[in-house]
Every structure is written in structure tokens, then in C-alpha cells.
Amino acid sequence: MNVINLKTYKILRERERAEIHYRHRLMGMKKHELLQELLNYHESYQRDPHDVNVTIRGQHLMEVLEQRAELRELQDLSREFQAKLKARLYAQLQKTL
């Protein structure tokens, strides 16, 4: 179990609220649009791997991909990547303090 302080938690919640419109947009995307968004996420991550907002967007994307996946393998892959993103986000938030 990871422990973060209250200030970090508040920052995280503010950033997640700011990105909620992105999640709603993802929910309305077709499969080919989600694939393009996955490529866009990868490019964003390569440009700035330390950007907390990119990590939060990645979490939203992986959650939607998991929900919409038709193959178990894709669901498993999305779930595995979500765990990695969660660990990355925790590390990023610890560095912001």
C-alpha cells in the first residue's frame, strides 16, 4: 500500500477532475479512434515522460480500453498497464513535493 500526504492527494484529485472531460470523450470514440488516441498518448509520453497529466490521461485511456476490449488479452494488457501507470503516477507525485 502506497501512502501519500494530503497535499499530494489534493493535487491528484484536482488534476483528475481537470481531465474528466477527456474520459468522456474517450467513451464516445469508435475503435479506430481509440487506437489513434493510444498512438497519441504514446507520442505525448515520449515527449514528456514526467508529465503527471499525461499519466492521468493514460490511466483513463487504459480503463476505457479495458472496458471496451473484445479480447481477453487486450483486457489483461490494459489492466497490467494500468498498474504500471498507477506506480508511475505515485512516483511522479512524490517528486512534486
For residue range 42-84, what is the model confidence (pLDDT) as tens digits? 999 999 999 989 999 999 999 999 999 999 999 999 999 999 9
pLDDT higher than 70, residue 3: no
pLDDT of the residue at 12: 78
DSSP secondary structure, 13-60, as one string: HHHHHHTHHHHHHHHT--HHHHHHHHHHHHHHHHH-TT-HHHHHHHHH
Domain residue limits, the chain: 13-95
Contacts of range 2-11, beta carbons closer than 8 Å, 24 or more positions apart: 2/90, 4/90, 4/93, 4/94, 5/97, 7/97, 8/93, 8/94, 8/96, 8/97, 11/93, 11/96
